[in-house]
Amino acid sequence: MKQRHGWATVVGAILIIAWAMAPVVWILSLSFKAGDDINNNRFWPTRLSLENYETVFNTPLFTSGLRNSIGIALISTVLSVAIATVAAYAIARLDFPGKRTVLSIALAIAMFPAVSLVGPLFNIWRTVGLYDTWLGLIIPYMSFTLPLSLWTLSAFFREIPWEMEEAAQMDGATAWQAFRKVIVPLAAPGVFTAAILAFFFAWNDFVFAISLTSTDAARPVPAALAFFTGASQFQRPAGAISAASIVVTIPVIVLVLLFQKRIVAGLTNGAVKG
C-alpha cells in the first residue's frame, strides 16, 4: 500500500479512538465521583475520590461475584478450548466424512438464542441440583465458547504447514520431539487466541448468569451489577456500579493491549477467508 495519509484518514482515526474510549473514560470518571458529585451533571468529577472502590471491595456481592466470574469464565474457557483443539486438529489433519457437518453444527449453535435455553435449564437444574452452582453456569457457557473455539481453531489449523512435522522426523527427530518442537509452537498462538475470545464471551455473559443463579454462591459480576441497583446499602449505586465496572473492564483492556494482533486475526481469520 503506497497511499499517503489523507487528512480524512487522520481525522477518522482520531474520531474512532475518541468514539471507542469515550464511554470507558466516562464510567471511569463516574467511578471517581463521591457523594453528591455523582449528580453534578458534568462529565468530569469535581474532586477525585476512591470511596466507590472501597465500597465495592467491601461488598460481598461484588467480591464473591468477581471470584465466580473469574473461576467460571476460566474453567469454561479451558474446557471448551481443550475439546475444540482435539476436534479442530482432526478436522485439519485427518480425512474423514462429516467434517463440514461438524463445522455447520458449530455455526448453527453459535447463532442459537441463549434465552431459548434458559427456561429448560432453569427447570432441569432445579431438579438435578445444578441451579446456582458453578457447574450450572459452566455447562451452558460451553454452548457458545465451544463452537466459537472450534471455528477459530479450525481456521488457524488450516493454515499450519503440517508437513513440517514429517520433515523434522526425516531429519532425525522422534515423533514426540517433532510434535513438541514443531507442532506445538505453530499451534499454540491459535489455541491461545481461541482461549482469549472464548474468555471474552464467558466473561460477558448476562443471560445465563441472571437466570441460573440466586445467591453469592455462583452469581458472576454482570448479574451482581444488576442487583446493585436499589440495594439499600448503597445510597448511590451509580458510583459503586461504575467502580465495579472499571474493575471488570481491566482484564479486557490488558488482554486487548497485549494481544491486539491475535484477537483481530482470530476474529477475521475464521470469518472471511484471507
Partner 1 sequence: MNVEAAPAPVGNKYSDRAVGERRLGLKLVAPAVIVMLLVTAYPMMNALYLSLFSYRLTDPAGREFVGLRNYSVVLTDSLWWQVVQTTVIIVIITVVAELILGFGFAMVMHRIIFGRRGVRTAILIPYGIITVVSAFAWRYAFALDSGFINQWFNLGDMAWFGSRWSAIFVISLSEIWKTTPFISLLLLAGLAQVPEVLQEAAKIDGATWSQRLFKVTLPNMKAAILVAVLFRTLDAYRLFDNVFIMTAGAQQTETVSFLAYRQMISRTALGLGSAVSVLLFLSVFLIAAAFIKGFKVDLSQVRGG
- Residue 63: exposure state from Cβ atoms within 10 A (0-12, 13-18, ≥19): middle
| DSSP states of 119-182 | HHHHHHHHHHT-TTSHHHHHHHHHHHHHHHHHHHHHHHHHTS-THHHHHHHHTT--HHHHIIII
| CA 32/CA 17 separation, integer angstroms | 22
In the structure grid, which three cell numbers stand for residue 220, read together? 458472576
Chain positions 176 to 235 lying near partner 1, rule: CB under 8 A, are: 200, 203-204, 206-207, 210-211, 221-222, 225-226
What minimum distance in Å lies between the beta carbon of 82 and partner 1?
9
For residue 213, give the 3-state DSSP assignment.
coil
| 264 near partner 1 (CB under 8 A) | yes
How many amino acids of this chain bind partner 1 (CB under 8 A)? 101
Residues 256, 261, 267, CA angle at the centre, nearest 5°?
A: 85
Binding span for partner 1 by CB under 8 A among 1-9, 59-67, 159-167, 184-192: 1-9
- Closer CB to partner 1, 41 or 171, in the complex: 41
The answer to whether 225 and 245 are in contact (CB under 8 A) is yes
| CA 190/CA 209 separation, integer angstroms | 28
| 272 near partner 1 (CB under 8 A) | yes
Binding span for partner 1 by CB under 8 A among 4-12, 52-60, 168-176, 183-191: 4-12
Length of the chain: 274
- Closer CB to partner 1, 102 or 172, in the complex: 102
| CA 236/CA 245 separation, integer angstroms | 15
| CA 154/CA 168 separation, integer angstroms | 23
Contact residue for partner 1 among 7, 41, 60, 176 (CB under 8 A):
41
What minimum distance in Å lies between the beta carbon of 93 and partner 1?
8
Chain positions 71 to 100 lying near partner 1, rule: CB under 8 A, are: 83-84, 86-87, 89-91, 94-100
- Closer CB to partner 1, 78 or 238, in the complex: 238
- Closer CB to partner 1, 172 or 239, in the complex: 239
| 104 near partner 1 (CB under 8 A) | yes
Contact residue for partner 1 among 103, 130, 160, 187 (CB under 8 A):
103
Chain positions 115 to 174 lying near partner 1, rule: CB under 8 A, are: 115-124, 126, 139-140, 142-143, 146-147, 150-151, 154-155
What minimum distance in Å lies between the beta carbon of 151 and partner 1?
7
| 112 near partner 1 (CB under 8 A) | yes
